[in-house]
């Protein structure tokens, strides 16, 4: 670890893993995660990391996406959504994840426990319109570990915002997924420019060691 103006400045991903951390499980919901490439592979890796995090006292924070009724959305957002939908008429669009719908529920095996934090959201950044920052500050978190779906969308945006808010973002390559292999690779490459990309094995080794000490 380097010294920067009398403060420690971690250089490697391993040094950042050793700092107070939180595990983010991003949008592992029925209406989103099963659409990802290699979904079962990603889900199983997220589950393993969650168990390890719980064993060593790392906070686990779930994002839970839902869609506002489009009549209440800003026109700029509606326009972007319309362009992505490919529909000829915006009146034919429907909310992706209606509040309270089956699509909003977490996938089997990754339901939050009463020891986890669940933060609803409506945008592709976990810092937008949620109390995430307050939770991380209350837990004295320095490193944000990002898992879930989708790598090139909400995970990448949250990694960028984490760095802007003074945290070290770590994206877990085999515990993230996207809607194609190409999108996943593109998301990881972009995430590496703002933080670190690590494997589940690296995290599990560090966290299991911490749990044995505990």
Please write the tens of the pLDDT for every residue from 40-65: 999 999 999 999 999 999 999 999 99
Q: For the whole model, what pTM was predicted?
A: 0.93
pLDDT confidence of residue 213: 47
pLDDT band at 32 (very low <50, low <70, confident <90, very high): very high
For residues 20 and 139, the answer to whether their CB atoms sit within 8 Å is: yes
Asked if pLDDT for residue 136 goes beyond 80, the answer is yes
pLDDT confidence of residue 7: 80
pLDDT band at 84 (very low <50, low <70, confident <90, very high): confident
pLDDT confidence of residue 77: 87
For residues 70 and 98, the answer to whether their CB atoms sit within 8 Å is: no
* Architecture of the CATH domain 2-213: 3-Layer(aba) Sandwich (3.40)
For residues 63 and 119, the answer to whether their CB atoms sit within 8 Å is: yes
Between 8-12, 145-149, 193-197, the lowest mean confidence (pLDDT) is in 8-12
- Please, is 22 exposed, middle or buried when counting C-beta atoms within 10 Å of its C-beta (0-12, 13-18, 19+)? buried
pLDDT confidence of residue 211: 62
Asked if pLDDT for residue 214 goes beyond 60, the answer is no
């Amino acid at each position: 670890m380097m010294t920067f103006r009398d403060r420690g400045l971690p250089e490697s991903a391993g040094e950042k893993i050793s700092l107070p951390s939180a595990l983010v499980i991003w949008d592992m919901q029925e209406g989103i995660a099963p659409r990802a490439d290699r979904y079962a592979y990603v889900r199983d890796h997220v589950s393993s990391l969650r168990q390890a995090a719980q064993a060593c006292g790392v906070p686990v924070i779930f994002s839970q996406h839902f869609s506002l009724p489009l009549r209440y959305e800003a026109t700029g957002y509606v326009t972007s959504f319309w362009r992505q939908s490919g529909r000829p008429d915006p009146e034919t669009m429907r909310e992706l994840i209606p509040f309270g719908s089956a699509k909003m529920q977490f996938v089997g095996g990754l339901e939050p426990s009463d020891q986890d934090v669940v933060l609803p959201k409506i945008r592709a950044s976990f810092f937008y319109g949620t109390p995430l920052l307050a939770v991380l500050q209350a837990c004295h978190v320095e490193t944000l570990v990002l898992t879930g779906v989708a790598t090139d969308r909400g995970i990448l945006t949250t990694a960028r915002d984490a760095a802007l808010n003074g945290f070290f973002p770590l994206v877990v390559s085999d515990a993230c997924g996207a809607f194609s292999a190409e999108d996943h690779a593109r998301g990881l490459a972009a995430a590496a420019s703002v933080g670190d990309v690590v494997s589940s094995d690296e995290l599990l080794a560090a966290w299991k060691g911490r749990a044995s000490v505990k």
